[in-house]
A = this chain, B = another copy of it.
Amino acid sequence: MLDVESVHRPDPVAEAAAVFGTTDPAHPGVAATLARPGPLVGGAVHVLRLPASPPGLGPRLTPAEVRAEAAARGWRTMVGFQTRNPVHRAHEHLTKVALEQVDGLLLHPLVGETKGDDVPAALRMTCYRALLDGYYPPSRVLLSAFPAAMRYAGPREAVCHALVRKNYGCSHFIVGRDHAGVGSYYGTYAAQEAFGAYKPDELGVVPLKFEHAFWCRACGGMATARTCPHPAGARVSLSGTAVRAMLGRGELPPPEFTRPEVARLLADGYRDTRREGST
């Protein structure tokens, strides 16, 4: 329920330029902003009852609930990981590197609206559970759906994602390459550099900046360009497009890329989607 205190007639073009750094209507965030009907109303919001979590998405803890759970587990520090994709070994590597120094991990997948080619949220949640069950100490991870839409605003959205996770109790937040980016609107490191505009204590949440991770055959382990001296040919690296093509053909990505438990769930999900599509 909203107490209407102000009415605002937006300037969608100026808003798009400020938020997205572009007014190109091919940018999905710009398109959504331009398509949004005005005027906008503002005022105090009264929550009567939170909407129920959609089926298959598992717990969707409030910020207060996440903070309480982290405190109950004795975590003095917690790192948030935003994702809208299945967690492959590359992402597992980043979160586990973070867990070496931080007490707990909030795996906080965005389950609101995303681009059409992203993996459906319910299938992703099943994959996350399989990954956590098989490869993480249960006492150190918390899985909760993050109800929000992707805006694909790159740097500005990365800072927003970090601040929202601070509200959930996170002391640290993982910022990867091209965080919340789309197409080639933002530089690979623009989101990481955006945090440089703030003094260390200004945001109240520490960004942990990571490079792209991969399995390196010569290292015999997960690595990034920060730790591995070997040539690209030694590295197992697949694009999201390549992985989707493999799954579409019923092939599993290699275990160096995706945990087998997760790969099987993704392959089954893809098969079911195609079957539904053909009926």
A residues near B, CB below 8 A? 96-97, 99-101, 134-138, 140, 208-211, 219-229, 255
A209: shortest Cβ distance to chain B, in Å?
Answer: 8
Contacts A221-B221, A221-B222, A223-B96; is A138 near B101 (CB within 8 Å)?
no
29 inter-chain pairs at a CB distance below 8 angstroms, sorted by A residue, are A96-B223, A96-B227, A97-B100, A97-B101, A99-B226, A99-B227, A100-B211, A100-B224, A100-B226, A100-B227, A101-B101, A101-B208, A134-B229, A135-B219, A135-B228, A135-B229, A136-B227, A136-B229, A137-B225, A137-B226, A137-B227, A137-B228, A137-B229, A138-B229, A140-B226, A140-B227, A220-B255, A221-B221, A221-B222
Which residue in B97, B135, B137 is a CB contact (below 8 Å) of A97? B97
Q: Tell me the number of copies of this protein.
A: 2
Inter-chain CA distance A225–B100, complex, in Å, is: 9
Inter-chain CA distance A137–B119, complex, in Å, is: 35
Q: In this complex, what residue of B is CB-closest to A135?
A: B219
- Give 17 A-B pairs besides A135-B219, A137-B229, A140-B226 with Cβ atoms closer than 8 angstroms: A96-B223, A96-B227, A99-B226, A99-B227, A100-B226, A100-B227, A101-B101, A101-B208, A101-B209, A134-B229, A135-B228, A136-B229, A137-B225, A137-B227, A137-B228, A138-B229, A221-B221
Inter-chain CA distance A137–B231, complex, in Å, is: 11
